[in-house]
Chain A
Amino acid sequence: MAKVLMKGNEAIGAAAIKAGCRYFFGYPITPQNELPEYMSRELPNVGGMFVQAESEIAAINMVYGAAGSGARVMTSSSSPGIALKQEGISYIAGSELPCVIVDMMRGGPGLGGIQPSQTDYFLATRGGGNGDYRLLVLAPSNVQELADLVMDGFDLADEYRNPVMILGDGMIGQMMEPVEFKNREGKTIQKKDWATTGTKGKRKPNIINSLYLDAEELERHNEKLQEKYNRIREKEVRVESSNLEDADLVISAYGTTARIVKTAISKLEKEGYKIGLIRPITLFPYPYDEFDKIEDTCKGVLTVEMNSGQMLDDVKLALKGRMPAYFYGRTGGMIPTPEEIVKKVKEILGGDK
């Protein structure tokens, strides 16, 4: 298939439909409205169903219901709307149901603004809802990767019976870029024998539930969940990295921020600096081990985010105190420029080379 030009939000919709998603429940919020708009237009053409719910809370509970009956289902929102969905997300995680949730982050806290941010890192990776649960969190850096990760997201959700979050910022949702959709021939959706599809009098009912009033039983359920999260930690880490061996400094960033960082790195390389990059693609599971590849001679790791330092916590965990962890961030919807990052690096490394 030839490349077409699409907005990130539209590409998510097209990728989801190609991955077999037939149900979308959502509630409008900028900057992700093109996605529900796309789904409302396209899902009926493929025998699917779009519902604009009365609220985010209603939408996530519709996802809960559809996922429980075995459907490939998706919802999307932006930060304040995702905050509202947390109860439902916790229920879905507790009931071990697959679904894909898209968060096109905007500035916060509260209603915040409508410009891009990365302030939901904690919410996404630490669980905004109650209980010891984890989401698989995927952080695309361009529209092509966004489309690829949406497709992979549905497969991962089914494989682990776990909600997957696509964590983008308003910029990647709004940005127009060339995209090509992967051929999914040969990929089959595995049969969901746990789904509530009707017993037809031939089997015991399947039950979808996150309530366990017996403490021992609930502990066993939690142990099972933790085993699953450990399997995910072992098998599903994705990361892009470069020049870690002899770097003067390593920069870590994800999403569109990582692209700005790459532009900054190429500017710095022209001036003779050796700068490495670690770009986590999965935020849970986090690529902690990748940081072990950084030599002790490196002066430190600079984390760049569109927030006040959230992934920074994971970078510190990964570094185990081996070297300093620096931070540069912009907030409120401001986007860092390559020049600002270059300046910060020079501050750390000391002057011009």
Chain B
Amino acid sequence: MLNDNRIRVITGHYGSGKTEFAVNYAVKLARLGKKVALVDLDVVNLYFRSREKTKTLEEIGIRVISSSIKGSALDLPAIPGEVLSPLQDTTYECILDVGGDPAGTRVLARYTNYFTEGKYDMFFVLNGNRPETQTVDKAIEYMIKIEEVTQVKITGIVNNTHLLKSTTFEDIISGNKLALEVSKRTNTPLKYNVALEDLVSSIKDIKGEIFPISLYMREEWML
């Protein structure tokens, strides 16, 4: 994680688990003592956005940037100038949590001049249990579309194959297979295999780093 470039852009099909990954990533970096900014650029969907967890994240010392207009449920595609701050201030470890699908990543086009080789990473979060990204071809189609819209190259794949709290070891393994095939075909490295903390010990002999997470975005009563 510390070897990733300073600016990390989190993209993927909507519902792939981008936000949960981005939030966990930010928390991990902050706990390593880093100065972290999490930018919520999701202007597509209004439920389950990282800005809902602003209070929790700020308590850990993370700077959360979302909209200059407060109110987590406002249907306004407003992005503040403040986004530029962690992009320009190189003392920040910067994470951009982007909206789902090519439509959601469109906002990135405004910042492409910050995404120069070696200065950024753009991760494609892949959930093999989502109907739209269950096959290698479909997943690659999404990657291509996202790259076309953003004009930025994806630098890593994150296997986030899960069924929320009912995820099993098998989900992660089958997702790993899918991700490796996508990785081979697109010549893009598989960076992480995301796994709920309880599942980590059951995973052995898997290619790619294991990235343990806890669920920040799911309430206790949700599946």
Contact = CB atoms under 8 A, between A and B. Distances in A.
B75 A30 contact: yes
Nearest to B74: A114
A348 interface: no
Interface string B121-134: 00000010111001
Interface of A: 3-7, 14, 30-31, 113-115, 142, 170-171, 174-178, 259-260, 262-263, 333, 338
A176 B73 contact: no
The 3 closest A-B pairs by CB, nearest first: A174-B47, A263-B221, A178-B163
Contacts of B223: 142, 177-178
Nearest to A41: B132
B221 A4 contact: no
A114 B73 contact: yes
A114 B47 CA distance: 9
A115 B46 CA distance: 9
A262 B129 contact: no
A174 B48 contact: yes
A178 B15 CA distance: 12
Interface string B108-132: 0000000000000000000101110
B84 interface: no
A145 to B, nearest CB: 11
Contacts of B129: 3-5, 178
Given A5-B127, A5-B162, A5-B163, A263 B220 contact: yes
Nearest to A260: B221
A175 B73 CA distance: 15
B166 interface: yes
- Give chain B's interface secondary structure class: loop
Nearest to B129: A5
B127 A338 contact: no
A177 B162 CA distance: 10
Contact of A113 (B73, B134, B164): B73
A113 B134 CA distance: 35
A115 B103 CA distance: 22
Nearest to B220: A263
Contacts of A114: 46, 73, 75
Nearest to A116: B47
Contacts of A177: 164, 222-223
Nearest to A177: B223
16 contacts: A4-B134, A5-B15, A5-B130, A6-B15, A6-B130, A6-B131, A30-B46, A114-B46, A114-B75, A170-B47, A174-B47, A176-B164, A177-B222, A178-B223, A259-B222, A333-B73
Assign chain B's interface to a size class.
Answer: 20 to 34
A5 B222 CA distance: 14
- Give chain A's interface secondary structure class: mixed
B73 A338 contact: no
Contacts of B127: 5
B222 to A, nearest CB: 7
A186 to B, nearest CB: 24
A24 B128 CA distance: 28
A113 B47 CA distance: 13
A178 B164 contact: yes
B166 A7 contact: no
Contacts of A178: 129, 163-164, 166, 223
Interface in B166-185: 166
Given A4-B134, A114-B46, A114-B75, A176 B15 contact: yes
A3 B164 CA distance: 12
Contacts of A260: 221
A170 B48 CA distance: 12
A36 to B, nearest CB: 15
B131 A4 contact: yes
Contacts of A175: 222
A116 to B, nearest CB: 9
Contacts of A262: 221
A259 B73 contact: no
B47 A31 contact: yes
B47 A259 contact: no
Nearest to A175: B222
Contacts of A259: 221-222
Nearest to B162: A5
B195 to A, nearest CB: 16
Contacts of A4: 129-131, 134
B26 to A, nearest CB: 21
A172 to B, nearest CB: 11
Interface string B204-223: 00000000000000001111
Contacts of B46: 30-31, 114
Contacts of B48: 174, 176
A175 to B, nearest CB: 7
